[in-house]
Copies of this chain bind each other. A is one copy, B any other.
Amino acid sequence: MPKRSSGDGNPHSGSARMRDVAARAGVSTMTVSRALNEPGKVSEEMRERVLRAVREIGYLPNHLAGSLSSNRSTTIGLIVPSIDNSIYTQTVKGLSEVLKSSGFQLMIAESGYDPNEEEELITVFLSHRVSGLVLHSTEHTPQAAEKIRKSGIPVVENGNIPREPLDMVVSFSNYDASYAMTMHLGRLGYRKIAFASLYSVHNDRSQDRLQGYHAALRQLGLDPDPRIVLETERGLAAGAEVMARVVQSVPEVDALFCAGDVLVVGALFECQKRGWAVPGRIALASFDDVDLLRHVSPSVTTLRLPRYDIGERTARILLSRIMDGAEHLRGSVVDLKFELIQREST
Contact = CB atoms under 8 A, between A and B. Distances in A.
Interface string A83-125: 1111001101100110010010111111000000000000111
Contact of A108 (B96, B127, B272): B96
A166 B296 CA distance: 43
Contact of A86 (B58, B62, B86, B296): B86
A147 B12 CA distance: 11
A75 interface: yes
A325 B9 CA distance: 9
Given A93-B110, A236-B292, A12 B152 contact: yes
Contacts of A83: 89, 92-93, 96
A235 interface: yes
A266 B295 contact: yes
Q: How extensive is the interface on chain A, given as a class?
A: 35 or more
A219 interface: no
A287 to B, nearest CB: 18
A151 B84 CA distance: 31
B93 A12 contact: no
Contacts of A61: 127
A236 B150 CA distance: 48
Given A90-B84, A107-B105, A110-B93, A291 B235 contact: yes
Contacts of A82: 93
**Oligomer: number of copies:** 2
Contact of A105 (B68, B128, B272): B128
A65 interface: yes
Nearest to A117: B100
B152 A11 contact: yes
Contacts of A124: 103, 105
A131 interface: yes
Interface string A243-273: 0000000000000000000000110010011
A110 B64 CA distance: 22
A320 interface: no
Interface string A9-22: 11111110000000
A43 interface: no
B109 A107 contact: no
A153 interface: yes
Nearest to A77: B105
A151 B67 contact: no
29 contacts: A10-B72, A11-B129, A11-B131, A12-B151, A14-B152, A15-B151, A58-B150, A60-B126, A60-B127, A60-B151, A62-B68, A62-B129, A64-B64, A64-B128, A83-B93, A83-B96, A84-B89, A84-B90, A84-B93, A86-B86, A105-B109, A105-B124, A106-B108, A108-B108, A236-B295, A240-B295, A265-B292, A269-B295, A269-B297
Interface of A: 3, 7, 9-15, 58, 60-65, 67-68, 71-73, 75, 82-86, 89-90, 92-93, 96-97, 100, 103, 105-110, 123-129, 131, 147, 150-153, 235-237, 240, 265-266, 269, 272-273, 291-292, 295-297, 322, 325
